[in-house]
Structure 1
């Protein structure tokens, strides 16, 4: 049991004798639900709790002689720990283990913020599948938003096992409003997860297309294993390019584009993808049309300008260009290490298999 350096409260089971160390006027008696009386000093209780201070002040105004405070509905031992805390401002782990819920209730009712904070932290550490519904109910009643949110998140993440507990079954039968509140929170959490996943997929796609633009520029200006500019001979004896993960695949697509008989208007899917990549490059290329860019069709696209009948499609394309430019700007800046790791981990799980997939879904993502 907690103890203070000052005079501790005196507990009496049946009757209270007049203390010899303090005056009768300063004595207050706490009566628990089990009929136990706990003697304490009025000035200490008043200084620790504004609610108790108001009760004690009302006695003085009305010259009341029966100075007793009834605290029902809480185990006697929990009330003893509570009064002891008002003296010492301390509570050990064993007491928290036994009476955290009851102490939270008392701290809320009698406005003792220090105890309330300690109870919330203790209950968060001790949250389990079995007790989370009960703790959630107390968190809502005792205005503990941090504890309430922790409970809600645990229920949302582990709803199936929580649904099998006695606490959930009791909640269904006695508090349908809170049940609805929980189900609504779970639905909103799932919507947020889906939205976040969609945004991460889109972000991953834009980073892939940005890397594709760099890879295309690398092939057309520096040359690589099998494809390069007209004034450079590709070094076919060189090992596969390790600078870009998609370099070999992009070289094969360029070779196919150069030799395909169907061409873009003939319905060749691979050629259409390359056509889109060349167009995307020209849209983000910062060289003027008068400057010779070594990427095929760059100058033609810039000179042709925007003569598109489908304005909606063009708006989608412009949005894609802005997204890829933004991804390119972000990739050129060193991101925090944790963000890099998160992005790498996500790319390993959600990365499209090829540029073909990226170009196939770019319109829907841009929308």
Structure 2
């Protein structure tokens, strides 16, 4: 019979052990029913059922925990007696960290079977911290069977990041031969993740274009109202490009403007400005009122084209609002950082 070695919390329990834990090595580990019942709802139900069977005969309650090494069961009970040992892992407590490193796989299984949530999360973190391409498939299978969603996600991220190395491992070849359904599930998940990444990249690129168009609208308003005075440009590069387009339009041959790419680009920018302009009249941007009048008279002749244009305008306006909010937030953050410095100077 193994002696209880649960220092700390275990030592404060004055009552004798009333439970014997039977392990795969046919050893017995004494424990206390109230500690086990408090730590695990599954053990609590087992204890209640066993107590009803023995019906107060006075004999010790026996619970078998088989299928894992004796050392893993002993470490499992140590953690049940002292949950704070999981906190020691974060501080790199040598004894607790060594036990977790040695028995993390079996502890994950035990904490899942006996529904010890805090220990299960600690095991997931421990296994994730040592993930490598050679063993990630085995850990993934374990995470699926133990319903460890966070660990499963970490495994999938590593597989997606270094799939070429994972594909060369013995574990992956074994998976291909014996569990093709799981292989297909993993490949489908990787494919879906790749599609999501492409969508996010495309969305970021679209957002960048809308933001640039929004900045171009600000620069166009700035050029037409303030004359783009040196040193006061909201975006000097954009202003310079717009001034070049305006100068080109003035010099371009009228007969070639309909086929000129640069003229068309400026024409679209002027139309976009008119679509988002909120000034009722006397807007200083050229052709603003003419474009507004033309849009009012269009009467939906080309509904598909109008719908695309309205969507573009909506996206640009949205990007403009988000840009203004971001600038305001940055300014407020700068002021919050500046105030303590001003107060410190005033106190001095």
Query: TM-score, structure 2 length as denominator?
Result: 0.80
Answer yes or no: is 1:49 the counterpart of 2:53: no
Q: Distance in 1 between matches of 2:320 and 2:154?
A: 38
Q: Which residue of 2 aligns with 1:250?
A: 242
User: Structure 1: how far apart are the matches of 2:223 and 2:186?
Assistant: 55
Aligned counterpart in structure 1 of residue 105 of structure 2, from 101, 114, 122? 101
The C-alpha deviation readout for 1:125-183, integer Å capped at 9, x for no partner, is 22222222222211111122122222222222222222222222222222222222211
1:242-263 residue CA offsets vs partner (Å, 9 max, x unmatched)? 7432222211111111121144
- Note the aligned Cα RMSD (angstroms): 2.8
Unpaired runs of at least 5, structure 1: 10-20, 226-237, 338-367
Indicate the residue corresponding to 2:309 in structure 1: 317
State the alpha-carbon separation in 2 of the partners of residues 57 and 239 from structure 1: 81
- Equivalent-residue separation in structure 1 for 2:44 and 2:202 (angstroms): 55
C-alpha distance in structure 2 between counterparts of 1:70 and 1:221, whole Å: 85
Aligned residue number for residue 263 of structure 2:
271
Hey, what's the Cα distance between the residues in 2 that align with 1:330 and 1:50?
Answer: 50
Report whether the alignment pairs 1:72 with 2:71: no
Q: 1:331 to 1:264 in 2, by over 3 A?
A: farther
Which secondary structure state, in structure 2, belongs to the residue aligned with residue 177 of structure 1? helix
Give the Å deviation of 1:46: 3.3
Call closer, same or farther: CA 1:157–1:40 in 2, change over 3 Å. Answer: same
Q: Deviations over 1:336-363 (max 9, x none)?
A: 66xxxxxxxxxxxxxxxxxxxxxxxxxx
255-264 or 195-204, larger mean C-alpha shift:
255-264
Question: Is 1:257–1:263's contact at 8 Å kept on the other side of the alignment?
Answer: no
Question: Is this contact kept in 1: 2:51–2:61, CA < 8 A?
Answer: no
SS at 2:325 equivalent: coil
The answer (yes or no) to whether the contact 2:258–2:264 under 8 Å persists in 1 is no
54-63 or 240-249: which moved more?
240-249
* Per-residue deviation, residues 296-351 of structure 1 (Å, max 9, x unmatched): 211211223342632211111111111111222222223566xxxxxxxxxxxxxx
Q: Is 1:146–2:138 an aligned residue pair?
A: no
Contact 2:18–2:60 (8 Å) recurs in 1: no
5 Å-filtered alignment, 1:1-367, equals 2-6=6-10, 27-63=18-54, 67-89=61-83, 90=85, 92-224=96-228, 243-263=235-255, 266-288=258-280, 291-304=281-294, 305-307=296-298, 309-334=301-326
CA spacing shift, 1:38–1:242, aligned 2, 3 Å:
closer
User: In 2 relative to 1, CA 321–29 (structure 1 residues): closer, same or farther, beyond 3 Å?
Assistant: same
Gaps of 5+ in 2: 87-95, 331-348
Give the whole-Å Cα distance in 2 for the aligned partners of 1:47 and 1:293.
75
* Structure with greater proportional helix content: 2
Give the distance between the partners of 2:23 and 2:149, measured in 1 at CA. Answer: 29
Contact 2:108–2:123 under 8 Å retained in 1: yes
Contact kept? 1:264, 1:272, Cα under 8 Å = no
| Cα distance in 2 for residues equivalent to 1:163 and 1:36 | 41
Alpha-carbon distance, 1:224 to partner: 3.6
1:250 and 1:22, CA in 2 relative to 1: closer, same or farther beyond 3 A?
Answer: closer
Encode CA deviations 1:175-209: one digit per residue, 9 max, x unaligned: 22222221121111111111111111111111111
